[in-house]
Amino acid sequence: MISNECIEAATSELDALGIPHHTEPRGKHVAIIWQNDGKQRSFVTAWTPSDWRAPLNVRRDIRRILREDGLLPDDGVVETQAQIVRLKNGRIFCDSRDISSHFGKAHKNVLRDIDRLADGLSDEFARLNFEPSDYIDQTGRKNRCFNLSRDGFTLLAMGFSGQSALDWKVRYLDAFNAMEREILAISGRNVIPSDMLQRIEKIEGDLNALIDLSLSTPSARPGYTVVKSHLRKVRAA
């Protein structure tokens, strides 16, 4: 039987949906073939994975094909470095369930650690970096999970030790970096991520509030008025 990490990544997605399949060698590549609605579908991957990212990217690509065929729900999530980071509504995040799996920790313990972190953070920071979510398990029961930003992941991963944990930290940060590069490439470096816009707006609001406060004091100098009008001019441009 033909097999490697990339092939196993693809066939495991087909197996999970109960889709029969077979493999065919094609030179330096292998084709994974299956049927959907009477039509032949195939996915080609290399005999030898280029690096550790290869099977993760294969899993992402095979899921995209399955979504296009209507075999997987399209939930608006774009996966990159499959099951490491995702993009949804302009935000890059990772899932607490994947962190649990990759770092070899019970998900309930990951949730516990996130709850403890969030308790010591400002409400705004916790909201932006530890977004509560949920999922339905195999028994049909709804369970908690979190979507973590890069900052959220970094804070959580600080408490993970050992060589394996270090390796996964690097992989996650690589995945965040790769997704950011993809976004910049697609946008032509003209789009600012929504969370960055929120931070900019908050800083600008705080600065304007400080300016208003200083203008309302008896010691305020006329020079502050120039700064405030300048800020308004930049915002309107």
Tens of pLDDT, residues 77-105? 444 444 578 777 778 888 898 888 788 88
The answer as to whether 79 is a domain residue is no
Q: Give yes or no for a contact between 71 and 62, defined as CB atoms under 8 angstroms apart.
A: no
Examine the domain organization and report whether 198 and 170 are in the same domain. no
- Tens-digit pLDDT profile for residues 107-154: 999 999 999 999 999 999 999 999 999 887 657 788 999 999 999 999
**Is 230 a member of any domain?**
yes
Domain of residue 178 covers: 84-187
Residue 71, judged by CB atoms within 10 A of its CB (0-12, 13-18, 19+), counts as middle
User: To which H or E segment does residue 223 belong?
Assistant: helix 223-236
User: Do 90 and 178 belong together in one domain?
Assistant: yes
Q: Does the model's pTM come out above 0.85?
A: no
95 shares its domain with 157: yes
Domain boundary among 27, 42, 74: 74
Number of domains the chain contains: 3
Does residue 62 share a domain with residue 121? no
Q: Is 176 exposed, middle or buried (0-12, 13-18, 19+ CB in 10 A)?
A: buried
**Which residues are CB-contacts of 202 (< 8 A; sequence separation ≥ 6)?**
124
